[in-house]
Amino acid sequence: MMSLAHFLMKFRERIRARYEEYLVITIETLASAIIGFSIGALVLYILGFNPAKIYFILFSKGLSNPNYLLSKSTPIMLTGLAFAIPMLAGVFNIGGEGQLYIGALISLIVVTSTHNPALGILAGMVAGAALGTFKAVLKVYRGVNEVIAAIMLNWVMYFLILYLLTEKLYNPQIPHESIPVPEDARLGKIPTPIGDIRLIFFIAVIASLIIYYILYYTNIGYMLRVAGLSPKTAKYAGFNPNLAIIYSMALGGAMAGLGGSLLLIGYVYSIDTTMSTLFGLGFTGIGVALLGRNNPIGIIFSAIFFSMLIIGGEMIELLAGAPPELADVLTGVIVIALALPYMYRMLISYMRIRRLIKK
Amino acid sequence: MSEEKRRAVEMLNISKIYPDGVVALRDVNLTVYEGEIHGLLGENGAGKTTLMRILYGEIKPTKGKIRLFGRKVSFHGPWDAIRHGIGMVYQHFTLVPTFTVLENLHLSFTSVEKKMSESMIRRNAEKLMKEIGFEVPLDAIVEDLPIGVQQRAEILKILLRKAKILILDEPTSVLTPIETRELFKTLKKLKEKGITIIFITHKLREVKEITDRVTVLRKGRLVGTVETANVSEIDLARMMVGREVFLKISKKPAKVGRKVLETVNLWVKDDRGLDAVRGVSLDLYEGEILGIAGVQGNGQKELVEAIAGIRPIIKGRIIVDNVDVTNKSTVERYRLGLAYVPDSRLVGLVFDMSLVENTTLTNLHKVLTKTKRILWDKASEIAVKVVKELDIIAPSLGAPVKYLSGGNQQKVMVGREIVREPKIFIVAEPTHGLDVGATEFIRKTLISLRDKDKAILLVSTDLDEIMQLSDRIAVMYEGKIVAIGKAEEFSVERLGLLMGGVKA
Ligand SMILES: Nc1ncnc2c1ncn2[C@@H]1O[C@H](COP(=O)(O)OP(=O)(O)O)[C@@H](O)[C@H]1O
Ligand SMILES: [Mg+2]
């Protein structure tokens, strides 16, 4: 009896403690979205479009095809994780782009030779993790800034793949495409109440949940978060902050690599030689992670939201002739608006100090 | 005094309250004559740096006036002070480490005189160095230079801007004894050239050696200004430390048990790579509190970090409960019965994490399953125990600890160690920044732990605390234990002298 009462008390306490936090986060996120859409409307109005009509197209078309929506959300969900996990450990990983490329490339090579999708996916994850670890090791042992390393390596990966696609891995029948993933190794769709949905979406969701579990329910995740918030405290507790950096980059890289291989094996089946199937997915992941507040569960939803914006953005161009960059403008403004509460708090504390000093 | 001396600096009724409510200075007056070396003496937190940052225009006083050479001034920022001929060398230098000395000099002119070219600066610098008789390699990269030379570059930078008043904030704390001697030679040369120098220190010997007059601050208040020649080091120690009525805490006589911690000839370097702990050998027994007194920055922090395994040691051995832990990790040491409560809550706590997550920090192994899963229910139970045992007031177990008061945060750090039931507590500055009530609670807790046969190593710069709690006292100065003995053997004055580097 005692323990039950105790448990209930604790449970209530936990909810009450988190309740305010969650409420604030929800309000801030919604407010940022509203600000983003309002500014977007203003831009549209100035450009001579009817904002209501454009937004109607954006939402209705963006959400009209669940399979398309969720398939498109898959890679950016995973590159979102690739940014969020290192961020929690205090590392700025903008290398999701390159990690996604290498994941796609390696799984293409493995899957065409083994015809085994699981092996292909695994290889893609390992490749992404290896690239992430490499950057972490450079940072920890050689003091190389992770952002600069990522920018350089992103381009190295880009041109490496471009070279391999055009010189070695191209499809003899369709020279502007890579050799395709063998039919027997492709991942398909599974039936659901909202229609057939690609398997890769569910894999990505499961990956997000696993990451959530690792971050919040295992010692590695705990150490990683402690190190990210306060490296000195990590050292005091006997954790090695450098190890946290390496783990987080390995884990993040694995997620981006997974994104690349899922996209390839379960959706596009080949890469075109202009790289348009892959380009930008890593960078979009940064926005996804920011909107999802670096929380793996939040990232699932923000990836779907971003996917809607991307799809809707394409339709705006087709149906209303509005510039396709509108989707980019919207996402940009929303991400900036998300930073507003932080700025607002900084401003308030600054003013308070000013007032105290004047007194 | 026959000739009338000109007053270079007059600071009148200066008070400073920091935004977070800390009263750093209360009605302090300071007069510095032209061409003298004026010492500013006081313990840590006395307000020395604050007073000088006000003079340098970096922060504004809450109250009070400043006059320079008789004229009232009011600075909006250091650039104003620089234009009035004031220069300041901080405890931490402000040179760009990857630039050459000359580039740094050039950079420093951009805020005052934009049109100076690098070759003009080189010419002026070389001329000036010849006049003062010291040398700084102008084309060397700053970070490649020894600290003493970097400091000289910093001084050169200030003199080039035609400073008439030079402020040095604890300049010797980063220097080796030889570098200190060099610095003093330079300062004497500068004095001959008519430059007024304000020299901040807490070392009594240095005050006697270099200053003409000295102003003593204690806990934000002015104790007095005296001619250095007229006072002894003992007088200065008494002025600096003061005599205050202690809070009385009743204490049973110690029942000392077996030896549980030993360091043997320990050598440890600080973050800058200088020897901070130089051959410390200490024994700690069950049931006693060994207080380590000393002015901040004399190696205490490095010593306890080395014992906890957070900082690598250069030489020596550490033995915990008959086990040589010299090569063991922090976690292993904690598991052998060592507990460490660091001097800063920024180190001991993750402010953005909850109370539960923070109490888990050093109790992690207790709440892990074999598969390395964290049992948060069990972790909450530990947190509840900590909260109950130390009467912690917190909005909830799930709220970030940044919302707790300083006293309650300190209780979290102490409490999560107590529930582990370790044999040895290493506690650094346990009551720093706490109010009277919280201070008393923490001190009583430490005494009750001692009465339960725990061994306690207490590091504190607060002499009251050391006197009140310790069964034995050791004094650290420049990385060495300069005196150790029963608490009764130390008077406040003797401690003050020892802490100031005087044999007593
Ligand atoms: N920026 C600051 N904000 C709040 N409190 C401060 C700040 N700087 C110093 N203090 C506090 O003011 C007091 C005097 O500090 P300081 O002038 O640095 O002393 P000293 O240089 O004599 O050691 C201390 O209690 C210190 O904690
Ligand atoms: Mg100071």
Dihedral-angle region of residue A282 (phi above 0 means left; psi in -120 to 50 means alpha; beta otherwise): alpha
Contact B359, B379 (CB under 8 A): yes
**Residue ranges of A 119-158 with Cβ closer than 8 A to chain B:** none
Tell me the helices (H) and strands (E) count for chain A, helix number first.
Answer: 13, 2
What pLDDT score was predicted for residue A3?
59
Q: Give the span between the Cα atoms of B277 and B269, in whole angstroms.
A: 7
What pLDDT score was predicted for residue B47?
92
Mutate to test the interface with B, among A3, A213, A222, A342 (most CBs of B within 10 A): A222
Q: Closest Cα to residue A146, out of A158, A157, A134, A160?
A: A134
Q: Give the span between the Cα atoms of B301 and B299, in whole angstroms.
A: 6
Interchain contact, A222 vs B396, CB within 8 Å: no
Q: Give the span between the Cα atoms of B412 and B383, in whole angstroms.
A: 9
- The pair of structure tokens assigned to A217 is 């329910």
What pLDDT score was predicted for residue A11?
57
Residue corresponding to tokens 């935004």: B19
What pLDDT score was predicted for residue A7?
58
Q: Closest Cα to residue B198, out of B322, B54, B40, B422?
A: B40
What pLDDT score was predicted for residue A1?
47
Residue corresponding to tokens 């002739």: A321
Interchain contact, A14 vs B308, CB within 8 Å: no
User: Min CA distance, A7 vs chain B (Å)?
Assistant: 9
Q: Quote the strand ranges of B359-479, DSSP E.
A: 424-428, 455-459, 472-477
On the 0-12 / 13-18 / 19+ scale of CB atoms within 10 A, B392 is: buried
Three-state SS at B30:
strand
**Cα-to-centroid distance, B273 and ligand 2 (Å):** 21
Task: Please report the atom of ligand 1 found closest to the CA of residue B51.
Answer: 17
User: Min CA distance, B116 vs chain A (Å)?
Assistant: 34
Interchain contact, B397 vs A10, CB within 8 Å: yes
What pLDDT score was predicted for residue B440?
83
What pLDDT score was predicted for residue B4?
66
Residues with CB under 6 A from ligand 1: B 18, 20, 22, 24, 42, 44-50
What pLDDT score was predicted for residue A318?
84
Contact B139, B195 (CB under 8 A): no
Chain B residue numbers touching A357 (CB-CB < 8 A): 19, 60, 62
Q: In order of start, what are the domains of chain A with their CATH numbers? A: 2-358 (1.10.3470)
- Nearest ligand, measured from the Cα of B429: 1
* B329, B351, B374: residue with CB nearest A217: B374
Q: How many CA atoms lie within 13 A of B327 on its CB side?
A: 0
What pLDDT score was predicted for residue A359?
46
Q: How many CA atoms lie within 13 A of B331 on its CB side?
A: 12
Q: Closest Cα to residue B467, out of B261, B298, B286, B244?
A: B244
What pLDDT score was predicted for residue A349?
57
Residues of chain A with pLDDT under 50: 1, 357, 359
Local confidence pLDDT in tens for the 504 residues of chain B: 435 688 999 999 999 988 767 789 999 999 999 999 999 998 877 899 999 999 999 999 999 999 999 999 999 989 899 999 999 998 778 899 889 999 999 988 887 777 788 899 999 999 999 988 888 999 999 988 888 899 999 999 999 988 999 999 989 877 777 888 889 999 999 999 999 999 998 888 889 999 999 999 998 999 999 999 999 988 888 888 775 444 566 788 888 899 999 999 999 999 888 899 999 999 999 999 999 998 888 999 999 999 999 999 999 999 999 999 999 999 999 999 999 999 989 999 999 999 999 999 999 999 999 989 999 999 999 999 999 988 888 888 888 898 888 889 999 999 999 999 899 999 999 988 777 677 888 899 999 999 999 999 999 988 888 988 999 999 999 999 999 999 999 988 888 889 888 887
Nearest CA to ligand 1 atom 25: B45
- The pair of structure tokens assigned to A325 is 């960059």
- The pair of structure tokens assigned to B22 is 């800390």
User: Min CA distance, B426 vs chain A (Å)?
Assistant: 13
On the 0-12 / 13-18 / 19+ scale of CB atoms within 10 A, A183 is: exposed
- The pair of structure tokens assigned to A24 is 């604030």
User: Chain A within 8 Å of B351 (Cβ-Cβ)?
Assistant: yes
Which is it for the CA torsion B250, B252, B253, B257, positive or negative?
Answer: negative
